[in-house]
Amino acid sequence: MLKQGLKNKDLFFKNKNIKMFLFFVLLSFLFWLLINLSKEYISTAQFKVSYVNLSKARVLQNTPLDKLKLEIKAHGFKFLTYQFKKKKIQINLAYLQHLKENTYFYLPNNHLRDFQAQFSKDVEILGVEADTLFFELTFNAKKKVKITPNLDITFKSGYNLNEPISISSDSVVIQGPKTFLDTINEVKTAHLQLKGLAENFKKDIALKMSENSKLSYSFKSVVINIIVDKFTETTLVKNFEIINLPKSQTITTIPKEVTVKYQVSLSNFNRVSASMFTIQCDYAVSERDSLSYLIPKVIVKPAFVSSVTLTPKRIEYLIKK
């Protein structure tokens, strides 16, 4: 039974009359299609939109339409083409009219000639479906904003910064709507994590920019430069000053000097001298707080030393009147 059915099917397709019939049906359909596509029709077609000639002093605050429907008169072939290949049309924002405050409007049907100029002569633009387009414009402002490195750094034991971390620029200029710029006070870099750092590090790091497409940045990344050195701990002996002592009094301290302990990089080790430090005891503070001793404090130290401590932390004294 199955074999008989397959045999009848083969005979059907081998029959020349049936083949000829199908051929003429297909040919008739193609002729019908060509005839109908060659006729002129009036209908709407949708086009992508781009906006041109906006003043550099202004910026769009809202997101305008990205598609627009036009009523056109054209051959069917054109309508078929627009279905498969989306044409982009331009709207000239130089023709915007002011409505109120930051609101402007554009009347598409008043500018059909502009649209017509963007099509071939066999297409006639009859009208635009949207009778009015509204735009929110604001002034295009600039703002200089500080850059904050987003760093998470730990150093290998015995190592530390030899000088402050530097970046190629401490600020960036952002351009865009003033209303958006007013909310931005800093720009961070991408997060950078370094563990057990024991050598110099230099790398280009991206800025974390706003996703707002209306904002533009003068640059998109900065160079982070980290100078690392091995550190050692050492000491020196330094005398101290006593300030705010009444002229009528003479003071004797025990001891007369303090030991200054600090950390310094090996490259700067020989640069350090006692004259670079200023240690002071404020007599007025001890008297105010009813203390029987003076408290030494580091007032001046070299920028390249760290972890400075003093011994002793209390200075005993005697007043001679």
Let me know: does 279 contact 241? Beta carbons within 8 Å.
yes
| Pair 69, 127 in one domain | yes
| Pair 107, 181 in one domain | no
Angle made by CA atoms 18, 20, 25, in degrees to the nearest 5: 95
Instruction: Please name every residue paired with 49 in a beta bridge, in sequence order, or none if there are none.
Output: 89
| Pair 79, 60 in one domain | yes
Give the helix/strand (H/E) hosting 179.
helix 178-181
| Pair 183, 254 in one domain | no
* Within a domain: 262: yes
**Final residue belonging to a domain, choices 179, 202, 226:** 226
| Pair 247, 312 in one domain | yes
Peptide bond into 108 cis (omega under 30): no
The gap from C-alpha 3 to its chain's centroid, in whole angstroms, comes to 73
The boundaries of the domain holding residue 108 are 40-131
Q: How far apart are CA 53 and CA 43, in angstroms?
A: 29
* Within a domain: 5: no
Number of domains in the chain: 3
Instruction: Please name every residue paired with 224 in a beta bridge, in sequence order, or none if there are none.
Output: 167, 203
Q: What CATH number has the domain bearing residue 246?
A: 2.170.120.30
Taking the CB of residue 37, how many other CB atoms lie within 10 A of it? Answer: 14
Q: What is the dihedral of CA 286, 290, 293, 298, to 10 degrees?
A: -30
* Within a domain: 276: yes
Let me know: does 267 contact 288? Beta carbons within 8 Å.
no
| Pair 288, 314 in one domain | yes
* Within a domain: 173: yes
**Final residue belonging to a domain, choices 80, 103, 131:** 131
| Pair 113, 44 in one domain | yes
3-class DSSP assignment, residue 196 = strand
* Within a domain: 16: no
| Pair 235, 204 in one domain | no
| Pair 219, 249 in one domain | no
Note the pLDDT of residue 284: 95
| Pair 91, 125 in one domain | yes
Note the pLDDT of residue 49: 92
Query: How many residues does this entry show for the chain?
Result: 321
Q: What CATH number has the domain bearing residue 176?
A: 2.170.120.40
* Within a domain: 81: yes
* Within a domain: 26: no
| Pair 167, 105 in one domain | no
Note the pLDDT of residue 29: 52
In tens digits, the chain (321 residues) has pLDDT values of 544 554 455 554 455 666 665 655 555 555 444 555 456 778 888 889 999 998 877 878 777 888 999 898 887 677 667 766 778 899 999 999 999 988 999 999 999 999 999 988 888 889 999 899 999 888 888 899 999 999 999 999 999 988 889 999 999 999 988 888 888 999 999 999 999 999 999 999 999 999 888 889 999 999 999 999 999 999 999 999 999 998 888 899 999 999 999 999 999 999 999 999 999 999 999 999 999 999 999 999 998 899 999 999 999 999 876
3-class DSSP assignment, residue 286 = helix
* Within a domain: 6: no
- In sequence order, the 6+-apart residues with CB closer than 8 A to the CB of 228 are 155, 159, 160, 161, 162, 197, 198, 199, 200, 201
Note the pLDDT of residue 266: 93
| Pair 268, 185 in one domain | no
**Final residue belonging to a domain, choices 78, 113, 131:** 131
This prediction's pTM: 0.56
Note the pLDDT of residue 299: 97
